[in-house]
Amino acid sequence: MKIIADAHIPFLKGVGERYGEITYLNGNEFTRETIQDADTLIVRTVTHFGEEMLEGSKVKLICSATIGFDHIDTAYCQAKGIRWANAPGCNSGSVQQYISSVLIEISRLKGFSLEGKTIGIIGVGNVGKKVAKIARLVGMKVLLNDPPRQRAESGNEFTDLDTIKREADIITFHTPLTKAGQDKTHHLADEEFFATLGKKPIIINTARGPIVETVAIKNAIRQEKISGAIIDCWENEPNIDLEYMKMVDIATPHIAGYSADGKGNATRMSLETLAEFYGLDKTPILKINIPEPESPTIDLNSFPADKRIYHALLHTYSTQADNDRLKANPQNFTYFRERYPLRRENIAYNVINYLPQEKEILQDWRFRL
């Protein structure tokens, strides 16, 4: 089998070779000519795969090591008999870790307690459900908005967007990017959205850049319709709006889902799809090995007595370094993504010297005890 894979997919080299002859390309090196003879593509979101790329090729399978799939022309693939697969939920734990960090950091920056605040979660899939869990763990009131799920499920778990706009102190987006239909999310946060907010919420976008209209949110910041913004996903990446970047409180280069655990999950899921499609042995996939963190033991006694678990969470990941790097050198947006340092999720850390009343919440945060 001939496989062409994005060179920046982690933990693939040395394992993927067990399934065929692999050529590794940078994202911008995927062209109609370079993929002509490939049977399988293992890709990320940096290149669009549709007729202009795939017509006349031998490609039978596209595995995207990402949660999103708007970079794949799924209708074209279906019409041509090309199987495609993404990796849903692969990085949900990583985004959960990112949201945990930024909630703590923004509450300290703005001088408020998370407990009792209302968070509106727009999009309650693999990621949104985990964000809801951590929000409840810190004592927040949670409002959930997911029209497709609301239509498909009974019960009163969900609320409408107007309620979230009226009541939420923090609004966070976790939807896919859809450009048409009744559940269109492209520019969901537009001028009208910001003009009809009941409070002055903090906006968080870790989903897709175009969900939040850049001009609209810049106006909302200037006019103080919102009290803060945490932006990981941007329109026109990697050529992001520099004025916008400087205006937000925390700016990161689309890395919320970039934990090593999330990347390992995505690579694993892609290879599992490949093995299933061609009827091959999955045993080589067990060779994927994620490095341990530099300091895997967290001693709660090393932190101040107040909110020791918050300190433990920030020990696993703080956005400060990512924010500082991007704001200092925004032209290196792609570089920061492709050479992202090792970040492990809570499950990779062992916590010691915890109190009995801290044990359950540490377990809920998925720390090792």
Paired sense of beta strands 228-231 and 250-251, if any: parallel
| DSSP assigned state of 62 | E
Indicate the burial class of 336 (C-beta count within 10 angstroms; 0-12, 13-18, 19 or more): buried
Task: Tell how strand 170-173 and strand 202-205 pair up.
Answer: parallel
Q: Which of 174, 187, 208, 344 is catalytic?
A: 208
- C-alpha to C-alpha distance for 303 and 319, rounded to whole angstroms: 19
User: Catalytic pick from 44, 187, 254, 268?
Assistant: 254
Q: Is 51 a catalytic residue?
A: no
Residue 344 annotated among the catalytic residues of the structure? no
With the CA atoms of 92, 234, 13 and 3 taken in that order, what torsion angle do they form, in degrees rounded to the nearest 10?
A: 100
Question: Distance between CA atoms of 126 and 277, rounded to whole angstroms?
Answer: 24
Q: How far is CA 226 from CA 62, 169, 202, 221, in A?
A: 41, 9, 6, 6
Instruction: Round to whole Å and give the CA distance between 42 and 60.
Output: 12
* Other CB atoms within 10 Å distance of the CB of residue 197: 18
Exposure on the CB side of residue 195, measured as CA atoms within 13 A:
5
CA distance 97 to 22: 33
* Annotation says 157 is catalytic: no
Pick the catalytic residue: 29, 167, 191, 237?
237
**Residues belonging to the active site:** 208, 237, 254
